[in-house]
Structure 1
Amino acid sequence: MSERIEHTAIIPIAQAGQRFDRALATIFPQYSRSRLQAWLKSGAITVDTTVLRAKDLVCGGEQVRLSVLLEEEGAVAAEPIALRIVYEDDSLLVIDKPPSLIVHPGAGHAGGTLQNALLHYDPRLAGLPRAGIVHRLDKGTSGLMVVARNLTAHKLLVEQLQARSVKRDYLALVSAVVTSGGRATAAIGRHRRDRTRMAVRQDGRAAVTHFRVVERFAAHTLLRCSLETGRTHQIRVHMAWLRQPVVGDPVYGGRTRLPKGASEELKTALSGFRRQALHALELRLVHPATEQAVGWHSPLPADYAYLLEVLRGCR
């Protein structure tokens, strides 16, 4: 389903002498500069019925008209996949993602993803980049994600993520007895040999993970991790680098660690947990429409809760 956007505005006299693209960013602040520039190049933005270039200077007082049809992106098909929706309004959706659900199509999984499900739930999302998905969770990671439902919300949510003002807290069960909380600040980049993995690299991108101890077990620790940045696999890479890998992590976790004298139930529970024990527990942000601070909490999925129950019984 396509959607047409129509706006008219007058360039303030105070902006006389400015470049047209800068004036556009002022009078249409709800859209990103890159999107406005793309619309300008396509002829969707006119001034007094003529088309200006981005570098042209304005005099002030011109009438600007924006008329654009948001076309569906790519060939991602809508699929009737059940979603657990924690919250929704005209600006955003908050989804509680199960660990089995992949966020968007990629190599080896053209369908069956959150993006496919979102397009079925709200066909208007086809006009947004990746159906409004502004951040992701790895397959195997459960918990909260926010999805934008219009371009204004998309721009503002992306800006909050870039400004590191979105608060995302995770529960991570790690294979180590951690004595105290701390902060991991190692930069992260693509692995030099295995391009499907990430790694700590001096020439990587800045990455900061805060963590504190929630509960200790005989050979494991439950941590609450807060992301200051949002690098791919960030918590998983940082915990493995600290030699306290996330339990069940198929990429960075290493072999299963069993406490001395572990019961058969615990051995079965740990060896049978075949995904990273990572759950997006809390999400906090500023609502893009109301500008009020809002937040949500997600309970642990059943498999994760059961693993913790078994660990508690074996201390």
Structure 2
Amino acid sequence: MKNLSFYKIEIEPDKNKRIDQLIASELPEYSRSRIKNWINRKDITINGKPCSPKDKILKKSVIEIRILENEELDIQPEKINLNISYEDKDILVINKNPGMVTHTAPGHFLGTLQNALLYHYPNLKNVPRAGIIHRLDKNTSGLIIIARNLIAHNSLVSQMKEKMIIKKYTALVTGMVTRNQIIRKKIGRHRINRLKMSVTDSGKEAISKIIVLENFKKSSLLDIELVTGRTHQIRVHLSSIGHPIIGDDLYGFKKSAHNHDKNLVNFLNSYHYHALHAKYLCFNHPITKKKIIINSEIPKSFVTIKSLLIKNYAKS
């Protein structure tokens, strides 16, 4: 039996974007064509009324979306090893490897975290998106919370909405970041390259807290806490201040910036990930309400880059 998922999204007025564009920015794992099909099928309503894909939001509105999970994607369980950082009968916390896509989607039918979860935990077919509460980009590693039942799912989704889940990351970036700072820059879909996000006055509020942990020659190790959780937020914010994440070609990383270190460049030639790791989670257990704090190990490739940076810095 296929499962229904329901989403309720509060949208601010935006006379410049169509409703299908706004929903696509809220649910980036679904294609625009798929969203249009839902609208035409009347599975999406604005303030309780059917809408058209080209409609625009002229006042603060509530969008409700009814999704029949797996209606277009036959999501197959797949035997893929998982790194489990925490587990009980209600929740899991997975330490995702870099290179793994979080959700199954067109172009990514196999090899995803969702495929793996459905293999190891078949009952997750009864929970929206196999219980995945939040996502990480394919080339970002780190901690992801999984709800094992609907009660846990509803509680954790509510905590996400109320910004009660604390998420911290560590990143290696190009250039020496000289001070701790809070980046407050709105983020929206890039107007030309739809695969990218960008800093834009018409975007949504986005806040990132940046702490400098260590400086190397022409690079820095940072600790980042997300106050908001926009798509590609850390990547966009760091790029916007001139410090793209090592390995993040989409947002401006250039290997040539590290030509002074041949060993590092040689390693980066075969490195296809981002030096960005979701290292810390703090949230309330959905059932017991006890505070859960999880820390994770940094991937070996991340450690290798850091060690090469340290060696080069020591020589300078």
**Deviations 1:216-240 (CA, angstroms, capped at 9, x unpaired):** 0010001000011111110000001
| Equivalent residue number for residue 77 of structure 1 | 76
- Cα distance in 2 for residues equivalent to 1:269 and 1:275: 12
> Deviations along 1:163-214, whole A, 9 cap, x unmatched?
1111111011111101111011111111111111111111111111101001
Which residue among 259, 275, 278 is the counterpart of 2:276? 278
Is the counterpart of residue 296 in structure 1 residue 294 in structure 2? Answer: yes
**Which amino acid in structure 2 is aligned with residue 160 of structure 1?**
Q
Matched, 1:90 2:89: yes
1:197 aligned residue: 196
Larger radius of gyration: 1
Task: State the distance in 1 between where 2:227 and 2:288 align.
Answer: 24
Report what 1:163 is aligned to: 162
Contact 1:207 1:228 in 2 (8 A): yes
Please give the alpha-carbon distance, in whole angstroms, between the structure 2 residues aligned to 1:267 and 1:183: 31
Secondary structure (helix, strand or coil) at the match of 1:183 reads strand
Partner of 1:173: 172
Give the drift of 1:269. Answer: 2.7
User: What is the number of residues matched between the two proteins?
Assistant: 248
**1:250, 1:275 within 8 Å by CA — same for their partners in 2?**
no
**8 Å Cα contact 1:258/1:267 also seen in 2:** no
> Whole-Å Cα distance in 1 between the matches of residues 212 and 270 of structure 2?
24
Query: How large is the Cα RMSD of the aligned pairs?
Result: 1.9
Q: Percent identity?
A: 40
1:251 match = 250
The structure whose residues are more often strand, as a share, is 2
Q: Does 1:217 align with 2:216?
A: yes
Please tell me the residue identity of whatever aligns with 2:212. Answer: V
Q: In structure 1, give the amino acid aligned to 2:95.
A: D
Letter in 1 for 2:203: G
TM-score, normalising length: structure 2: 0.75
Most deviating of 266-275 and 168-177: 266-275
Structure 2 regions of 5+ residues with no counterpart?
A: 4-67
1:106-153 deviations in whole A, cap 9, x for unaligned?
A: 231111110011111111111111011110000110011001011111
CA contact (8 A) 1:182 1:211 kept: yes
User: What secondary structure is seen at the aligned counterpart in 1 of 2:172?
Assistant: strand
Task: State the alpha-carbon separation in 2 of the partners of residues 112 and 130 from structure 1.
Answer: 15
CA deviation profile, 1:24-70 (whole Å, cap 9, x unmatched)? xxxxxxxxxxxxxxxxxxxxxxxxxxxxxxxxxxxxxxxxxxxxxxx
Alignment of 1:1-315 (within 5 A): 73-74=70-71, 75-258=74-257, 262-315=260-313
Larger displacement relative to structure 2 (248-257 or 135-144): 248-257
Please list every run of 5 or more consecutive structure 1 residues that lacks an aligned counterpart in the other structure.
Answer: 4-70
In structure 2, give the amino acid aligned to 1:266: L
One-letter amino acid of the counterpart of residue 264, structure 1: K
SS at match of 1:314: helix
- Give 4+ residue runs of structure 1 displaced > 6 Å after superposition: none
